[in-house]
Structure 1
Amino acid sequence: MAIFNTKTRIVFFCTLSLLVLFSPQLSLSSSIHDLLISKGLPAGLLPREVRSYTLSEDGYLEVFLDGPCLTKYENRVFFESVVRANLTYRSLSGVVGLSQEELFLWLPVKDITVDDPRSGLILFDIGVAHKQLSLSLFEDPPDCKPQGELKNHARKEKGFEAVR
C-alpha cells in the first residue's frame, strides 16, 4: 500500500510549484550568470565563485561569494563577500560590495549600465567618473582570487605605520 495516493501527489506537486513560482526570494534561473544574461547584462560581470544569490520581487539582488576576492577586467576589481544592487533590464544600480582600482585608488562601483548593446560598451559609474569598457571583457565569468583580503591589508601598510 502506497503512503501517498495519486490525488495527494498531485496536490503536493501543485503546492510546491506554486511556492516556487510566487516566492519572492527564489529565482527560476539556473545561475546568476543566466539571470544576468536574461536581464541584458553580460554573464562575466560576476565571478565564477558565486555561491548563491537572492532576487526579490522589486529587483533587489544579493549575491553571495565564497569570500572577498580580486579579479581583473581592464583594471583590478575587488568583490566583497556579498554584492548588492538593484537589478533592472540592462542595469545594476546602487551597487554595494564592488570596487575598481583606478590610478592606485580603490573606488566603489555605484552603477553598471549597458545603454545600447550594439555599441559594444558597458558603462561603470565609479562616483568621480564614468568609465566605458568593452562588453567583450565581460563575456565569461572570471576566476576570482581569494587574496582579495590583502587589498585592505596593503592599504594599511602604506600608511604612517609602514614608514616606521
Structure 2
Amino acid sequence: MASQALLLLGLLPLVHLFLFLASAASVQDLLRAHGLPPGLLPRSVESFSLDPASGLLEVRLDYPCYARFDSLVFFDRVVRGNLSYGGLHGVVGVAQEELFLWLPVREIVVADPSSGVIFFDIGVAHKQLSLSLFEYPPQCQPGTEGELVPGIGEGFRGRHEKGLEEER
C-alpha cells in the first residue's frame, strides 16, 4: 500500500506536465509557464512537443526565417533545446548576426525576471538584452532557398552568403 502511494506521488509531476501540455494553446504559453518571454520564437510555429522526461523542446516552424530583435536572427525549420524554468539550454536551430558573422545561439536564460534582462550565449560572448524586446512573437520573413548561414550547422539558410558572393 505504501509503495503504491509512493508510485502515485512519483507520477504526479508527469501527470501535471501532461495535463499542462494538453491544455497549452501555444508554445508561447509553454514558454511563459517556464519563466521565459513568449516572443522568443516567431509567429510561424507549426507545432511543438516537449519530452517530459528529458525536457527536450522541439519546435517546428512553417519555414526557415529571419526576425529582428536588436539584430537579425535566423530560425531554422526545427528549433530544439532543453527547457527548464528560466532557461533554454543546448539550443539548436537559432543563429544571430553579429558584426557580419552568424553565430549560433547556444543558451537563453532569464536568471532574474525582475531585472528585465535576458541573456543569450552566442559562443564567443554572452549577450544581455531587454526582456521587453521579447514580449510578442516577431513576424518572421522567409529565407531564400539555397542560401546558407555558414558555421551554424546543417539546414541553416541565410542571406549574407549570397551577398558575399555577389561582392567578389
Q: Using the TM superposition, give the Cα deviation of residue 111 of structure 1 relative to its aligned residue in structure 2, in angstroms.
A: 0.1
Q: What is the 5 A alignment of 1:64-143?
A: 64-143=60-139
* Post-superposition CA distance 1:118-146 (Å, at most 9, x none): 11000000000000000000000011011
**Pairing partner for 1:158 from 150, 153, 164:** 164
Equivalent residue of 1:27, what SS? helix
Alpha-carbon offset, residue 147 of structure 1: 2.6
What amino acid does structure 1 have at the position aligned with 2:105?
V
Counterpart residue number, 1:47: 42
User: How far apart, CA to CA, are the structure 1 residues paired with 2:98 and 2:124?
Assistant: 11
Q: Distance in 1 between matches of 2:136 and 2:121?
A: 21
Output the CA distance in 1 between the equivalents of 2:93 and 2:86.
19
Paired letter, 1:49: S
| Aligned residue in 2 for 1:30 | 25
Say how many residue pairs are matched: 141
Poorly superposed stretches of 4+, deviation over 2 Å: 21-24, 147-154
Instruction: Compare CA radii of gyration and give the structure with the larger one.
Output: 1
The 3 A distance-change label for structure 1 pair 148 and 162 is same
Q: Secondary structure at the match of 2:158?
A: helix
**Among the aligned pairs, what percent are the same residue?**
55
TM-score (norm 2): 0.77
Instruction: Specify every segment of 5 or more residues in structure 1 that has no aligned partner in the other structure, as ranges.
Output: 1-20
Query: Could you say what the CA RMSD is over the residues aligned between the two structures, in angstroms?
Result: 2.1
* Offset from partner CA, 1:66-104 (integer Å, 9 cap, x none): 010000000000000000000000000000000001011
Unmatched segments (≥5 aa) in structure 2:
1-14, 148-156
